[in-house]
Amino acid sequence: MKLIMRTTLLVLFSSVFLCAFSETPLSRIESFIINEQYSQALTLLGKQKPDGYTTILQRICNKKASYTDYYTFLKNVEISSKSDFLKLDNFLNKVITVPSTNHLNLDYVKIRWTQISNSRNELSLEISNKENEQLREYVNQFKSSTNRDYQKAKLLVNSHEIVISLIQGNTSEGMQKSIIDQRIATQFRDTFLILMTKFYYSNFLVETNQLDEYIKITQESIDLEAEKPDKSEFYASNIGNLVDALIYKGNFDIEYIEDLLFSLYKTEKTRYLSYSLYAKYLGAISENTEAQKRIFKLFNVENLEQFCDKVVNLSESKVNTLEFYHIVNECSNALSKNGYFERAIEYKDNCIQLNTQIYSKELSQSLADFQTKEAEHEKQIEIENANQRSKYYLSTTVISILFLLFLVLLLLKIRVKSKDLEIRNKERDILLREVHHRVKNNFQLIIGFLRLQEKFSRNIKIEDFIQEIEMKMNSMSLVHDLLNNETDLEKVDLKGYLGELGISIINSLTQYDFDIDFQVNGDRVEATIDQVIPIGLVANEVITNAIKHSNKQELQITICVLKDSNDIRVSIADNGFGLPENFDLEQSNSFGMKVIVLLMKQIDAKVSWENRNGLKWTFNIPKK
């Protein structure tokens, strides 16, 4: 199911269309307007054939535009970078003021709603939360159970909380809210609101693995606006998501899939979105079929290699880095599935470089910005407290009155600052979850690359070496995956982790043809990431050795995790032949044994072993 998430979350938090960007006269006019260069914009507008949109642009240049005009401009403007988002946001904040009329202006609400979506995606959650609260204050002025515009505006405001629920993993709460909002939108028969609420609801279906319902809801959304000439900002995303879901499910209607793909391809603004989906589709169908020939004919190529080279060259300078990564990655997958292993590895190399470009700089900057904000915030608190003390000492003539006043103000400040710290802690949790998620993704990307190398290799020793590396990397990747799903983002359930790790190792070593009885028992013990990773690597070594050196028809492996006041005790036992009686762990020249000794020393753990109906390892790890 997670295969669908790439397309879904790519467009979940953004309303302005950020994908393909090729400079046209209209895009230059829009750029002039955003930079408030109205005379240059009007000069270029004079050379354009008049139509509804150019008339709106003229009114904006002449500062005679309505809220409806600005909303239309916001839906159509093409944005090519994060810096352009900032310029657009600054421009709108200058020209869009709160309506002074006595009735609610729904177009103003839609403009601010779009800005909030963009801020959430391109700026920060802190900014989008603040903007949404300001919009809520405006909407609540017109609170009425019979005011349809108020009820519609309330749905737009509430959508931000639903998206935040999805980001934070509050699936049950967010899903319930989206169901309620979907019913309200359906009662109003408002197409845009129906599409919006269905879109957010469908993302929760992905999270809860309801694939058939997800496909049904997405098809309904596409059908709802299929005949409309002006498509919503959800249309292209829904098509991409549906294609992803149908391919993942398998046994799909080829003609229907190709109709969906062509609906993206035929429009210049969404054509580049179709490239990664076409590559995924070619990886899902057989070679030399009529379906494959139709795609090659559409792109004027003769084979899969030519197709991949063409779409990569066409899109390299036209799309943002994230979308380009998906195009290259899907091409690599398609090439691999069709036996072009050398080219698949070449494309996967490019993916690794793009992945580093996307995440490393961005994540480092995000962490640096967060730390800087925290330092500035703490300094500001110190300054404020110093000022408060100075004022208190100077006010000796009315000490009793000011003392009471000071207490009241201090209590209010504590409440405000406590709320501020609570928000910052939530943002920190989100940031940590993102760190663990991206580290896990990077591990999985490298594991995927190693598996490609393994397929391409003809040397058994190299294949075994690659498989050992894969299992070690998987043991580390699993830690970050579990941390991402824990309430405490710095500790892992050690028993649960070792259980999942053991199953993963057993499923990886498919070349050994005998039964394995694997059990995990003991206490639930939480350990830090610094402890869990070495323990996982040691467990990987011990379990792998037990399987590789066993010649029994049924191998039994048992892991036991126990805790007392000072230590965590982990034992791993098997019913194999054990170690020689004169075996000295410290003096052993075995690479695996040296790994066990070094890793356990790293966390100050004590290691012991004994032969008792097999081999039993015991590791005593100090609690932290």
Taking only the tens place, the pLDDT of each residue in 366-404 is: 444 445 545 555 566 666 666 666 665 566 556 767 767
The set of residues, in sequence order, having a beta carbon less than 8 Å from that of 422 and lying 6+ positions away, is: none
The set of residues, in sequence order, having a beta carbon less than 8 Å from that of 98 and lying 6+ positions away, is: 108, 138
Q: Which CATH architecture has domain 486-624?
A: 2-Layer Sandwich (3.30)
pLDDT at 516 over 50: yes
Retrieve residue 160's tokens.
């931000």
The Cα 113–Cα 153 span in angstroms is: 9
DSSP 107-126: HHHHHHHHHHHHHHHHT-HH
Of 77, 3, 5, the C-alpha closest to 237 is 5
Residue 619 pairs with which residues in a beta bridge?
570, 607
Task: Residue 440: count other Cβ atoms within 10 Å of its Cβ.
Answer: 19
Mean pLDDT of the chain: 79
Domain boundaries, the chain: 1-13+79-252, 22-77, 486-624
pLDDT at 489 over 80: no
The set of residues, in sequence order, having a beta carbon less than 8 Å from that of 31 and lying 6+ positions away, is: 84
pLDDT of residue 301: 92
Q: Which fold has domain 1-13+79-252?
A: 1.25.40
Retrieve residue 504's tokens.
């993963």
pLDDT at 552 over 50: yes
- Crossing angle between the packed helical segments 529-548 and 494-508, to the nearest 10 degrees: 40
pLDDT of residue 308: 93
Retrieve residue 407's tokens.
């207490």
pLDDT digits (tens, 9 = 90+) for 87-117: 888 888 888 888 887 888 999 999 888 888 8
pLDDT of residue 568: 92
Residue 303 — pLDDT band, cuts 50, 70, 90?
very high
The Cα 455–Cα 341 span in angstroms is: 8
Residue type, 424: R
**What would the mean pLDDT of 602-622 be, rounded to a whole number?**
90
pLDDT at 562 over 90: yes
Residue 608 pairs with which residues in a beta bridge?
618
As a three-state string, the secondary structure of 130-155 is HHHHHHHHHHHCCCCCCCHHHHHHHH
Residue 294 — pLDDT band, cuts 50, 70, 90?
very high
pLDDT digits (tens, 9 = 90+) for 412-464: 676 666 666 666 655 555 555 555 455 555 555 665 656 565 566 666 666 66
> In whole angstroms, how far apart are CA 530 and each of 54, 199, 426, 476, 522?
60, 40, 23, 11, 21
Of 193, 249, 183, the C-alpha closest to 221 is 193
Pure H helices in 225-267:
235-249, 254-265
The Cα 179–Cα 92 span in angstroms is: 32
